[in-house]
Amino acid sequence: MMGLKNKQFDLIVQVLRDINSREVDAIEKTESPNVAFSQNYDETIQNIFKKERVAKYNYKRIISIIAAAVLIIALTVTAFAFRKQIVDFIETLVPGGVRLEPDGGEFKPVEGYYVFSKLPEAYEVTYHTENKVQIETEWTNGENIIFLQQTVLTERYQVDIDTESEHYRKEKVGPYTVHYTYKYGTHTVVWENDRYGFVLDCFAELTWEEIKEMILTMEVLPLSEDGGVPEGN
Amino acid sequence: MKFSDLYYGYKDLVIKVTYNILKDVYYAEDASQVAWMNIARNINKIKTDNLKMVKSFVICVAKNAAYNELKKNKKHAVLELKEYFQIEYEEDYIAKREEYILVRKAILEFPEIVRDVFCLHYINGLKVREIAEVLNRTQSSIKSILRRGRIRLEELFTKE
C-alpha cells in the first residue's frame, strides 16, 4: 500500500464530515419516544453533576488529599505487595482488571509466525504484517473478523485483561494457560508460550468451545519474504 | 465541556438514537443510561467546543450502546452492517464531483462501526486508545478497523 495522499485524505475527511452532518439531521428529524428513567439512574446522574461541581471548585484540595493518600500507601506497602507471580507472567492488579507482563528475559526477534490451521468456515486471511517484534494476522469471512497478534515477549510487553467481566475465565487449553473474556461482542483471549505473547480478538459469533478448538490447531510457519499476505492461506 | 451541559443538551438526541436502533422504549432507556455513563467516564476526550463534533461523539457512543444492547438481547445476528438512519442526498454541486461520489459510496458501504471509528479518529481527533475506551473495545480491534478502512480507501484511489 502506498498510503493516502494529503489531497485524498482531505477528501475523505470532507466526506466523513458530510455524512456525519446528514446523519445528525436524519436522527434529529425522528420522533422522540416518551421515556422515564428510573429514580436510581436520575440519582446517579445528579451525583455526577454534583461531583462535577465539586471538581470545579475544590480540585486543588482533592488533589492534595489524593497525593497524601498515595504517599501514605507508598510508604506502608511495597510495590510487590500488589503483585503475584503466575507462570511466566507478573500479574498486576490494575483498575478494572489484571495486567500481564513477562518476567524479564532477553529479546530475540520473531522466527516464525503462528496461524490457526483450522478456522470456522469461509474465513480467509485478509491482512498479515510482520516485523521483528510483532506479527498480526487477520481473517475475515466478509462480515466478521478474527485477529491474532503475536508479540515477542520483552520486558515492555504488557496486556490488560478485564477480569471483572462475568465471562472472564482462566483455563488450560492444550499447553497454554489462557485468559478469556467477552465484552461488547468481542471475544478476547490472551496467552503466551516461552517466546511470544498472543492476543486473539474475535469480532464474531463464536462459542468458547470453537475458540478453544482454533487455539489447539495453532501451528508455526516460516516468515514470508515480503511481510504480506502469505500464499495458500 | 461540562457533563451537565451535554446531558441536558443531548438527552433527547441519545434517546432518539437508541430508540431508532432498538425500537423498544425499555431497551432504549437501558442503552441511553449506559451511553451516558460512558460519556461521563470519557468526557475529557471531547477536545472541542464545536457543537457538530460534540454531537457526532455523543451519537457514536449512543449507537455503540444501542448495538451492544441489541447483541445482549440477541435480536439480530449481524447488527453493525445494518443501516438504521437513512441518509438522503441531494444532487448538489459537490456531489457531482465523481471522486467525491466514489469516496462517499465507499464510506457509506462501510459497516457503521468502521464509520464511527473513522469519525472519532479523523473528525474528533481521538487516539486509538481513547476510541477503545469510548467504544469499550480493545486497542487492537480499533487499529484493525482503521487499517481495514484505510486499505479499502487506498484501493479505491489506486483503481482510479
Query: How many domains does the structure of chain A reveal?
Result: 1
In degrees and rounded to multiples of 5, residue A200 shows phi and psi of -115, 120
What's B128's domain CATH number? 1.20.140
CA nearest to B135 within chain A: A184
CA nearest to B118 within chain A: A16
Residues contacting B75, CB < 8 A, separation 6+: none
Inside any domain, residue A43:
no
Please check whether residue A97 is in contact with residue A164, taking contact to mean a CB–CB distance below 8 angstroms.
Answer: yes
* In chain A, residues 121-180 whose CB comes closer than 8 Å to chain B: 126-127, 136, 138, 143-145, 147, 149
Please check whether residue A99 is in contact with residue A84, taking contact to mean a CB–CB distance below 8 angstroms.
Answer: no
Q: Give dist(CA B72, CA B30) in Å, integer.
A: 11
Inter-chain CB proximity A35 and B122 less than 8 Å: no
- 3-state class (DSSP) for residue A75: helix
Q: How would residue A54 be classed by pLDDT, with cut points 50, 70 and 90?
A: low
Inter-chain CB proximity B148 and A15 less than 8 Å: no
Q: Give dist(CA A137, CA A113) in Å, integer.
A: 9
Inside any domain, residue A178:
yes
Q: What pLDDT score does A1 carry?
A: 44
Inside any domain, residue A173:
yes
Q: What pLDDT score does B70 carry?
A: 80
A122: left (phi over 0), alpha (psi -120 to 50) or beta: left
Q: Give dist(CA A97, CA B136) in Å, integer.
A: 14
With contacts defined as CB-CB under 8 Å, which chain B residues touch A36? 29
Which of A4, A7, A10, A11 to mutate to test binding with chain B, by most B CBs within 10 Å of its CB?
A11
Each residue of A175-232: pLDDT tens digit?
Answer: 999 999 887 677 889 998 888 889 898 887 888 888 999 999 998 888 766 544 444 3
Residues contacting A3, CB < 8 A, separation 6+: B154
What's A217's domain CATH number? 3.40.1000.10
Residue A57 pLDDT > 60? no
Q: How would residue A68 be classed by pLDDT, with cut points 50, 70 and 90?
A: low
Q: Give dist(CA B137, CA B126) in Å, integer.
A: 14
HEC readout, chain B: CCHHHHHHHHHHHHHHHHHHHHCCHHHHHHHHHHHHHHHHHCHHHCCCCCHHHHHHHHHHHHHHHHHHHHHHCCCCCCCCCCCCCCCCCCCCCHHHCHHHHHHHHHHHHCCHHHHHHHHHHHHCCCCHHHHHHHHCCCHHHHHHHHHHHHHHHHHHHHHC
For residue A184, give the DSSP letter: T
Cell output for B47: 477536545
Q: What pLDDT score does A107 carry?
A: 60
Each residue of A25-43: pLDDT tens digit?
Answer: 888 888 888 888 888 888 8
Q: Give dist(CA A162, CA A183) in Å, integer.
A: 9
With contacts defined as CB-CB under 8 Å, which chain A residues touch B24? none
With contacts defined as CB-CB under 8 Å, which chain A residues touch B123? 13, 16-17, 20
Residues contacting A213, CB < 8 A, separation 6+: A118
Residue A172 pLDDT > 90? yes
Q: How would residue A52 be classed by pLDDT, with cut points 50, 70 and 90?
A: confident
Q: What mean pLDDT comes out for the span A163-173?
A: 84
Out of B40, B136, B147, whose CB is closest to A184? B136
- 3-state class (DSSP) for residue A3: coil
With contacts defined as CB-CB under 8 Å, which chain A residues touch B67? 185
Q: What pLDDT score does A214 carry?
A: 92
State the smallest CA–CA distance between residue B128 and chain A in angstroms. Answer: 15
Inter-chain CB proximity B148 and A138 less than 8 Å: yes
Residue A187 corresponds to which amino acid?
A: H
- Average pLDDT of the residues of chain A: 73
CA nearest to A199 within chain B: B140
Please check whether residue B112 is in contact with residue B145, taking contact to mean a CB–CB distance below 8 angstroms.
Answer: no
Inside any domain, residue A199:
yes
Which domain does A187 fall in, by range?
Answer: 105-222
Q: List, run by run, the mean pLDDT of 10-residue segments along chain B (160 residues).
A: 86 89 86 91 80 85 86 54 48 60 86 88 86 87 88 80
B134: β partners: none
With contacts defined as CB-CB under 8 Å, which chain A residues touch B16? 27-28, 30-32
Which of A15, A164, A182, A183 to mutate to test binding with chain B, by most B CBs within 10 Å of its CB?
A15
- Percentage of chain A modeled with pLDDT above 70: 68
Inside any domain, residue A86:
no
Inside any domain, residue A77:
no
Out of B28, B118, B135, whose CB is closest to A35? B28
Between A184 and A167, residue with greater pLDDT: A167
Residue A47 pLDDT > 90? no
- 3-state class (DSSP) for residue A2: coil
Inside any domain, residue A95:
no
CA nearest to A189 within chain B: B138
Inter-chain CB proximity A20 and B13 less than 8 Å: no
Query: How many domains does the structure of chain B reveal?
Result: 1
Each residue of A70-116: pLDDT tens digit?
Answer: 655 554 444 333 333 333 444 444 444 444 444 444 567 778 888 89
Q: What pLDDT score does B75 carry?
A: 52
With contacts defined as CB-CB under 8 Å, which chain A residues touch B99? 11
With contacts defined as CB-CB under 8 Å, which chain A residues touch B12? 32
A195: β partners: none
Please check whether residue A209 is in contact with residue A125, taking contact to mean a CB–CB distance below 8 angstroms.
Answer: no
Which domain does B17 fall in, by range?
Answer: 3-159
Q: What pLDDT score does B122 carry?
A: 86
Inter-chain CB proximity A23 and B104 less than 8 Å: no
